[in-house]
Structure 1
Amino acid sequence: MNLKEIYAQLTEDDIKVLKAIERRLKTHEFVPVEILEKETKLPLHRLERSLYHLNKLKLLRRMSGSSLGYRLTILAYDVLAIHTLMKRGVLAEIGDKIGVGKESDVYLGIAPGGKRLAVKFHRVGRKSFRHVARNRPYKLEDSWLLQSKVSASREFAALKELYPRGAKVPKPVDKSRHVVVTELIEGAVELYTKPDIPDPLKALEDVLVTIEIAYKDVGIVHGDLSEYNIIVVPSTSEAFIIDWPQYVEKDSPLAERLLRRDVEYVVRFFKKVYGIPLDVDEVVRRLKELPSGSG
C-alpha cells in the first residue's frame, strides 16, 4: 500500500490520535493509552478502534507491558506532514515516488491548481545514528523523527536564502515537519547518470555560480557536493544544486576545507565525463575573491 492509499483511509479520529502522540515526542518514547485518552478526549472505544486501525496501517509501533503505549513510525510522520500541507492548500494530491536519496524520498505533489511539485521527505534515521551525528554540523535531536525535522528546516532555510539571490536551486514553496516542498524542475535528471548535455560548460558554470552565491552572499558552504546532488536539464544545459541540510556556515573552521572539496568533486567530474579542464586552485581563488569595491 502506498502513501496516497494510506492517507485516503484515515479518519478524523486517526489524525487526532497521531497528533496527540506527536505532541509527546520529546517526553515519551511510547505514549500510554491513558494519556492519549485525556489528550484526544475520545471515548475509549473510539480511541481503541483508531489505535487498532493505525497499528494495522503500520503508522504506530506498540509496546506492551505494564502500561500499553504507542509511538509514531516515520510513515505516520509522513501522513501528518501531508495532512498539514493539504490543509494549507499547498498540496491537493500526493503522487508516486520519483526519487530516492541516501537520506530522503521524493514524491510528486500536485498543487490545487494542477502545478507539479517535488515533495521531499527527509529520512535522517535511514543511516546509523552515530554516522549521522558524526557528519552533521548541527545538534541532532534524540528522536529520528525530530532529527529529520531539523534537517528539513535547515534545507528550507537555505533554499529561502539562496533562491532569491539567483542561485540555481529549486524554488522553495513550503515545509511541514520533515517535509520540504519545492518546484519540480521538469525534465531534470541526476548528473551522476552522465547525461548528454549540449553545453556542459554552461552546466558547470551554473554549479560554480551557485557555490559562489552561497559562499559570498548567503555565507554558507554546501559541504557534501558531488554529481549525486546536482541535477541537470539536458534540453537547456541548466544545472541545479540540491540537498542542502548539511551546509556549514562560512565562519566555521570546516568551511574552507569543505568548499575546496566541493569544488574538487565537481571539477573532477566535469573533466572526466565532459572533458572540461579547470584548475581547482584557480576556481577556489575566484570563489573566495571579494566583490570589487568591498573592504
Structure 2
Amino acid sequence: MKLDTSHMRYLTSDDFKVLQAVEIGSRNHELVPTEMIHSMGGMKSPSGTNRAIGDLAKLKLISRLRNAKYDGFRLTYNGYDYLALKSMLNRNTVYSVGSQIGVGKESDIYSVSDPKGAQKVLKIHRLGRTSFKTVKNNRDYLRNNQSSGWMYLSRLAANKEYEFMEILHKNDFAVPIPYDYSRHCVLMEWIRGIPMKQLRKHNDYKRLYSDLMNFIVKLANHGLIHCDFNEFNIIIRDKEDAAKHEFDFVVIDFPQCVSIEHTDAKQYFDRDVEGIRAFFEKKFRYKPSHDPTMFDTEGYGEGYKYAYPNFNRDVNRIKSLDVEVKASGYAKKMTGVREDKDLEKAVMKMRINDPNEDEEDDGLSDFSAEDVEDDEDDDDDEDEEEDINDVFASDDEEKDLEEENERIIDALSSGGKKLKMDKLGNYIIDEDDDEDEEEETK
C-alpha cells in the first residue's frame, strides 16, 4: 500500500473535520452512519458534510460497504495516513514526504523532511498485512476483516515502538532518535548506512560481533529482550558517520519487545543470540568457542572467556525499563497489573519463526538444542496462555455490541432523542430515556 500525498494540499479544513469524525466513529462502528459523521464533524449544514464525504470518497480516504443495512462510511488506510501526516504537519515535525525506501511485513518506510530540510524516516505500521492472518484464522477477532480494528492495533504498535525507542535512547542505547508519532506513524532519525544483511566485509567483524552480543545483554539487564534481533533489524553506519559514535551499528524495530519476566524470555533471548551467531558464521565463517583459559568477560568471542551470552549466567537486572514501558510479560510478576493484551496478541506473530516464510526471514534460525536449557515453568506457560486468550471478546460481548450499534442507528433514524455523547465523542444510548419510556409504556 503506497502513500500518495498528492491530494493532501487540496483538502480543506472541513474535509479534515469530516475525516476525523469518521475516525472517531470507527472506534465502535464498523460503518459510521452519515448522520453521526455530520453530528461529530461539527459542520453547519448537512450539504457541507455531504460535499466533504463525496470528495473524500473520490480520493479513497473513506469508503462504503457493499450491501450495508444503512448509509455510512468507514475510514481507509489512506485516510488514516492523511490524518497522521496532518497531525505532524500541524506540529511542524514533518514538511514533505519523499520516496518509499523500504517495505516490511508489518510496515512501510518512507523518506521525509522536516521544515528545516533535514532528512528523516517515517515508519507507517500496516498491521493486518500478514502478521494477524494466524490470529484471524484462530478466531474471527476482527469480524469481517474490519479495517478500523487493524488501524487500532497499528496505532498501538506505533505508540509502543515510540515508547521503546524514546526510553532506550535516553538510556544511551544505539537506536534511532525518535522525533514524533501520530496514530500508526513513527518519525525517527535517518541513519546513514546499510542493513547488516547487505554487509560484504567489515574491518573489525570480531569486535562488531562482541558489541552486538553486549547489546543483547545490556538490553536484558535493563529489563528488555528485542525478540527480532537479526541482520535485518541492525543498520551498519558508514565510516564517516561511525566515527562520530561509540558504536558503528544501530538497532531498529521494537514493537515486539518483551520483558525479561516474560514466560518465554529465555527462549527469545537465546534466539536473538543464535540469530547473530548464525549470521557471523555464514557471512564471515566466524564461530568462536568458549575459552576457559581467558579471564576477560567484558565481551564475547575470540579473546574472551565466553563465545556468546547465556541468559541465566549473564542477565542481571540493573534497571526496570520493561516496567516503565509496560513491555509484554512485565505485569504478572512485577506489578500485578495486566498489560494491553490486544497488542500482545497482535505482535506475537512477529516473534514466531515460520518455516514457510521467505528465505530472507531465516535470520532468526531455531536456536540449537545445546544452547537451550529446558527449565521453563509449565504452570507459567498455562497462565500466560490463559491471559492471552483474554484479548478476545466473548460471543455474548460481540452480540451485545452489535445490538447496541443497531439501537444507535435506529435512534439516529428517529431523530436521536435517546442518544448522548460519551467522553470520546461516540454516540451511546441514554439509559435514562429508556427507563422513562418503559415507565410510560407501563
The alpha-carbon deviation at position 133 of structure 1 amounts to 7.4
Structure 2 SS opposite 1:38: helix
CA offsets, 1:9-47, max 9 Å, x none? 322122111111111222100101111111113222221
Question: In 2 relative to 1, CA 171–210 (structure 1 residues): closer, same or farther, beyond 3 Å?
Answer: farther
Match of 1:228 among 216, 226, 232: 232
Q: Distance in 2 between matches of 1:5 and 1:287?
A: 54
What amino acid is the match of 2:182? S
Moved more, 244-253 or 223-232: 223-232
**Contact 1:196–1:234, Cα closer than 8 Å, also in 2:** no
Give unpaired runs (5+ residues) of structure 2. 138-145, 291-305, 320-442
Paired position in structure 1 for 2:197: 192
Higher strand share: 1
Paired position in structure 2 for 1:102: 105
Question: In 2 relative to 1, CA 47–202 (structure 1 residues): closer, same or farther, beyond 3 Å?
Answer: farther
1:284 paired to 2:309: yes
Query: How do 1:45-84 residues align onto structure 2 when only pairs under 5 Å count?
Result: 45-63=47-65, 65-84=68-87
Paired position in structure 1 for 2:132: 129
What amino acid is the match of 1:204? Y
Structure 1 SS opposite 2:202: coil
Paired position in structure 2 for 1:7: 8
**Contact 2:225–2:268, Cα closer than 8 Å, also in 1:** yes
The alpha-carbon deviation at position 161 of structure 1 amounts to 1.7
Structure ID, larger Rg: 2
Moved more, 114-123 or 192-201: 192-201
**Contact 2:124–2:186, Cα closer than 8 Å, also in 1:** yes
What amino acid is the match of 2:287? P
The alpha-carbon deviation at position 201 of structure 1 amounts to 2.9
Question: In 2 relative to 1, CA 60–10 (structure 1 residues): closer, same or farther, beyond 3 Å?
Answer: same
TM-score by length of 2: 0.60
Paired position in structure 2 for 1:137: none
**Contact 1:203–1:232, Cα closer than 8 Å, also in 2:** no
Query: How do 1:232-247 residues align onto structure 2 when only pairs under 5 Å count?
Result: 232-235=236-239, 236=242, 238-247=248-257
Q: Distance in 2 between matches of 1:202 and 1:92?
A: 39
What amino acid is the match of 2:94? L
Query: How do 1:245-284 residues align onto structure 2 when only pairs under 5 Å count?
Result: 245-279=255-289, 282-284=307-309
Structure 2 SS opposite 1:48: helix
Q: Distance in 1 between matches of 2:171 and 2:125?
A: 25
Q: Distance in 2 between matches of 1:167 and 1:29?
A: 41
The alpha-carbon deviation at position 290 of structure 1 amounts to 5.5
Question: In 2 relative to 1, CA 168–282 (structure 1 residues): closer, same or farther, beyond 3 Å?
Answer: same
Question: In 2 relative to 1, CA 74–288 (structure 1 residues): closer, same or farther, beyond 3 Å?
Answer: farther
Question: In 2 relative to 1, CA 254–279 (structure 1 residues): closer, same or farther, beyond 3 Å?
Answer: farther
Question: In 2 relative to 1, CA 73–272 (structure 1 residues): closer, same or farther, beyond 3 Å?
Answer: same
Moved more, 20-29 or 192-201: 192-201
Question: In 2 relative to 1, CA 162–133 (structure 1 residues): closer, same or farther, beyond 3 Å?
Answer: farther
Aligned length: 287
The CA RMSD over aligned residues, in Å, is 2.7
The alpha-carbon deviation at position 249 of structure 1 amounts to 0.9
Structure 1 SS opposite 2:7: helix
CA offsets, 1:40-59, max 9 Å, x none? 13222221221121111111
Match of 1:173 among 175, 179, 182: 179
**Contact 1:202–1:238, Cα closer than 8 Å, also in 2:** no
Paired position in structure 2 for 1:17: 18
Q: Distance in 2 between matches of 1:4 and 1:287?
A: 50
